[in-house]
Amino acid sequence: MMPGTEDRATAQNEETYRELENFLSVFERVRGNYVEEVSDADLIRGAIEGMLSSLDPHSSYLTESDFASMRLSTDGEYGGLGLTVTNRDGAVFVITPTEDTPADRAGLKSGDYITQIDGELLFGLTLDESVAKMRGEPGTDITLTVVRPGRTEPFDVTLTREIIDLRPVKWEVDGDVGIININQFSAPTAEGVEAAIKSIDLAIGGDGPVGYVLDLRRNPGGLLNQAVEVSDIFLERGEIVSERGRDAEDIDRFYATKGDLTKGKPVIVLIDAGSASASEIVAGALQDHRRAVVMGETSFGKGSVQTIIQTGETTALRLTTARYYTPSGRSVQAGGIEPDIIVPQLTDPDRLNRPRLREADLRRHLVAQAGVEDELLEDDTKSDPRFVATPEELEKAGVEDFQLHYAVETLSRIARPAQRIAKAS
């Protein structure tokens, strides 16, 4: 033991004991003198929640209902409206609606604020309390009051609750391009991507597609192992992601295994401000290995790892225990994945007015490492001659999703020279 280490440890323990004595003193005063009787369990739970709220936005205490909801969502099925939300300015802020859910079909968008549920103001409620109000029996209606930047008046949206049975992977074919859309990284995601690739090959026939668009937009993330397995589908070798904890030696690395199911065909990954966590692992891995071109907008920037520690039969602790890094050693925490090519969503008429909430906007967010935080890549495409079409002009041209349209067109252009060379030989 180094000289002075024992003395420092003793002093630290004494300071800890003093703070615990202070806590117990406050606990007894509140317990005995508060204007209304309050249970010890409520006081202790409040103390735990306060302790965790002083850390980062993703560390929290999970009560019985929270724990059950988390397990349902990671299993790929849960009840509700299909929204990923957070608290902001006393309202519920929509990070992203999940595709093909009541929220998505009702037209809710990233950047919307939900201020009332069935006429009841949400100001002062915790996020868990607000989310609990949005959930309910499938088939029952709920009315949300929405404030949308760019509109002068709030408006009401009535939705019908339903069981959200997520199909984490969907696929389609546009000409000779295969499109794989991943909504969430839940238990069956990697298996779904493998099935999508086989289905696309069969649908196109011959040599299969000229390339693939991997659509990770509005994907809030999910399970780490699924992000690793999905990345592995497109890679032959190399590191996919690493997790680094508090200690310098505390590093876990995850590697690809041999075998690219797409046989090296071109891949474009689409991301936006709603692409977070596991989505960023996949985008970062394929970008670093130059296996894919990343298009769209800078991602959310959630580069931290949460460990679920069960503290009782029905309660758990969700604690941030590490940061993750892309193969080149980049931390995306608070900075996000920057696309190789910025492509704005020109078919969204509200895109210039809608706020983009990212990790860096959350209170007490972790910085990337040792106080260093990346700057977000600004959208400087407003004067780019490729991106001057209006939503109305694109609608007349039959383009419903400009980012996806641009990615498909780009893949087709990439493939044509290769096809000419093949024919000439």
Nearest-angstrom CA–CA distance, 170 and 179: 8
The DSSP code sequence of 13-55 is HHHHHHHHHHHHHHHHHHHHHSSS---HHHHHHHHHHHHHHTS
Active site residue 288: yes
Give the integer Cα–Cα distance in Å for 107 and 147.
13
The active-site residue out of 59, 186, 277, 331 is 277
Helix (H) or strand (E) holding 77: strand 77-80
Q: Among all chains, which residue has been given the structure tokens 């994945």?
A: 337
Long-range CB contact pairs, 192-200, < 8 A, 24+: 192/167, 192/168, 193/169, 193/230, 193/233, 194/233, 194/261, 195/169, 196/169, 196/170, 196/171, 197/233, 197/261, 197/262, 199/171, 200/171, 200/173
Cα–Cα distance for residue pair 276/268, rounded to 1 Å: 17
- Identify the CA nearest to 291 among candidates 223, 209, 236, 217: 236
Q: Is 302 a catalytic residue?
A: yes
CA distances from 383 to 123, 386, 387, 389, 392 (A): 40, 9, 8, 11, 18
As given in the structure block, the two tokens for residue 304 are 């931290």
Choice among 288, 299, 304, 331 that is catalytic: 288
From the list 56, 231, 275, 302, the catalytic residue is 302
Per the annotation, the verdict on 279 as an active-site residue is no
Catalytic residues: 277, 288, 302
